[in-house]
Structure 1
Amino acid sequence: MEKQNSPSNQLNETITITEENELLKFIITHFPHKKRPILKSILSGGQIKVNNQPTTQFNHPLKKGDEVTVNWNKPAKKVKLSHLNIIFEDEYLIVIEKAEGLLSVASLKEKKKTAIQILKDHMEKVDSKVKVHVVHRLEREVSGILIFAKTSEVQQKLQESWETYITDRKYMGVVEGKVKKEEDTLKNYLMSNKNNQVFVVDSPEGATETITHFKVVKQSNAFSMLEFTLESGFKNQIRVQMQHYGHPITGDKKYKARKNPLGRVALHASMIEMIHPVTGKKLKFELVAPANFRNLVAKG
């Protein structure tokens, strides 16, 4: 393996791969003098690039000839704006962490305090030539990962071929009550009415079939923390399905939650795995669930 100077001599170190491996296994073997928690932290913090593309994927496949660059400096801080943080940005995409209570795009009642307007105002100061385009949305009440495009071409690619480029999505949520099954799959037909209320129907006619998988992460008698994996995308999908399942998302008054201990809907878009629509590289964005999700279950 070709190796540049040691970490003590410079902040960036590049290694050329001579045989197939997985990223985490490789860096643990290559840097035996470094403690595993430190290496995992560097990887999860986005301080490692493969062929100049950042990755946080522990099992990212390495091929002969790939270049792995490790940044031993402290990770760059997220760009913090009002109600959102920019967690990834290149010349084609902006990926943010959206706070609960913030609209993704403008509505009839709210036009200024939205994620896209905050980003547009920010980019106007940074580079006025860059435009921000909506790719998808998160409900106002939900926090987590949200993707925007910097060109209309990238926006169109992602919107028209969403299932091609978005390979995995996960949410973390806290529901009311103790869920009996450790994991389950929810299959329902959903419809929405003119008042934007989404509901389960028995017939597929005029409806959309939705599929959500969940597994229990932590639970008590009062609350259960679940990880959701989506196979489909429909407005309020998880919220409606969990109400129908008998365990509404806590704080979700719209869908019959009885309690609101956190002062919010306890649902968080925690992971998106995707293929970059321009470079073709695999990207994975992960956010831990808010600490009060786990604390609430522990207290319950």
Structure 2
Amino acid sequence: MRKGPSSPRPRGGAFSRGSAGAPPKTFKVTEPGELLSFLLDKLAPQGRNSVKSLLAHGQVSVAGKVEKLYNYALKPGQEVEVRKDRATVAPPLVGLRIVYEDDAIVVANKDAGLLSIATDRETELTAYRQLTAHVRIANPSARIFILHRLDRETSGLMMFAKSESIQQKMQDNWKDVVKERTYVALVEGLVKKTNGTIESWLKETSTLKMYSSFAKNDGQHAITHYKVLRASRNYSLLEVDLETGRKNQIRVHMQDIGHPIASDKKYGAKTKPFSRLGLHARVLAFEHPVTGKPMRFETDIPKPFLSQFGEKPQG
């Protein structure tokens, strides 16, 4: 997985910057050494056990990141911060892993089963809510702005902005900024045509189900490209590239060609090899909204997809 050029934010614990408690003490590192020895010198006459307790309770940070290792190797130029109050650390993320973060964006890998963002009727745990809590550890007023969504039962890469201006900039230039959005889809049946393009105009019923119209301009224009990676009598594994990003686009287009996504009863699937959709957002590539540098992230094909072909997972 390749990371972009922006300096990523450390993903260990982070200090809460609330106003409660005494202000932190900050010390500049002038020569190499171990963290515990450095603290014993700077905090003298504070005892060894007391300093160890500060480390154990997350009250010491190095270069903005909570550090608990006694023998952490300090480098000249770093700042060590010691707080009297214990650090507030973000709760563990559930069904979500941060793969990249800087001051402008967060890229995360979402598990199937987790909502991207809550609806009026659903206020349960979501990717959006968890990442909001995550960024507010360092800054209680911080916010997260969603750039695109994945269906609950679809897994894979998502991107969020850290400001409304970044969100607006990226969404206004989405076709130019986003260079690649590649999915893998496990679909029913043997797809005989090894690659192809599906084009239609998507519309929505009163029950919020999407469907294709093939009359020009009768709905939202949608274009999907696919390539067969694996194929058997029962299932085919496709690499799917989105030229447009419409609601349920891949699910509708796979139904249109007679090969609905595995476990997708809503869009015509008759089999259920697992309890999630056979759809995973595998690759996300884009220009960084601040630096303009190319960034690309790639994840593994989910194990249950490969197991339908008797294969073990990659890597």
Shorter-chain TM-score category? Answer: 0.7 to 0.9
Aligned match for 1:162, one of 174, 178, 187: 174
Match of 1:203 in 2: 215
What is the CA deviation profile of residues 151-186 of structure 1, one whole-angstrom value per residue up to 9, with x for unaligned ones? 111011111111121111100010000100111111
Match of 2:23 in 1: none
- Alpha-carbon distance in 2 for matches of 1:208, 1:267: 22
Contact 1:220 1:298 in 2 (8 A): no
Q: Does 1:149 align with 2:178?
A: no
Contact 1:177 1:247 in 2 (8 A): yes
Q: Does 1:234 align with 2:250?
A: no
TM-score, normalised with respect to structure 2: 0.69
Larger Rg: 2
- Alpha-carbon distance in 2 for matches of 1:51, 1:190: 37
After superposition, the Cα gap between the structure-2 partners of 1:188 and 1:89, relative to the gap in structure 1 and judged at 3 Å, is: same
Contact 1:222 1:297 in 2 (8 A): no
Q: 1:190: how far off? A: 1.4
Q: Which runs of 5+ in 2 are unaligned?
A: 9-90
Match of 1:70 in 2: none
Any residues of structure 2 matched to 1:41-120 within 5 Å, and which?
Answer: 44=1, 46=3, 81-120=93-132
- Alpha-carbon distance in 1 for matches of 2:195, 2:272: 24
Letter in 1 for 2:234: A
Match of 2:228 in 1: 216
Q: Which runs of 5+ in 1 are unaligned?
A: 1-43, 54-78
Match of 2:16 in 1: none
- Alpha-carbon distance in 2 for matches of 1:282, 1:98: 22
Q: 1:109: how far off? A: 2.1
Match of 1:254 in 2: 266
SS of the residue corresponding to residue 81 of structure 1 reads coil
Letter in 2 for 1:116: Y
Contact 2:2 2:295 in 1 (8 A): no
Q: 1:51: how far off? A: 8.8
Letter in 2 for 1:293: F
Contact 2:232 2:309 in 1 (8 A): yes
Letter in 2 for 1:283: M
Q: 1:45: how far off? A: 6.4
Contact 1:80 1:86 in 2 (8 A): no
What is the CA deviation profile of residues 235-277 of structure 1, one whole-angstrom value per residue up to 9, with x for unaligned ones? 0001001101000000001101001111111100011110011
Contact 1:177 1:223 in 2 (8 A): yes
Letter in 2 for 1:174: L
After superposition, the Cα gap between the structure-2 partners of 1:50 and 1:280, relative to the gap in structure 1 and judged at 3 Å, is: closer
SS of the residue corresponding to residue 195 of structure 1 reads coil
Letter in 2 for 1:261: P
Match of 1:180 in 2: 192
Equivalent pairs: percent with the same residue?
38
Match of 2:204 in 1: 192
TM-score, normalised with respect to structure 1: 0.72
SS of the residue corresponding to residue 158 of structure 2 reads strand
Match of 2:282 in 1: 270
- Alpha-carbon distance in 2 for matches of 1:111, 1:287: 28
Any residues of structure 2 matched to 1:33-44 within 5 Å, and which?
Answer: 44=1
What is the CA deviation profile of residues 18-47 of structure 1, one whole-angstrom value per residue up to 9, with x for unaligned ones? xxxxxxxxxxxxxxxxxxxxxxxxxx365x
The CA RMSD over aligned residues, in Å, is 2.1
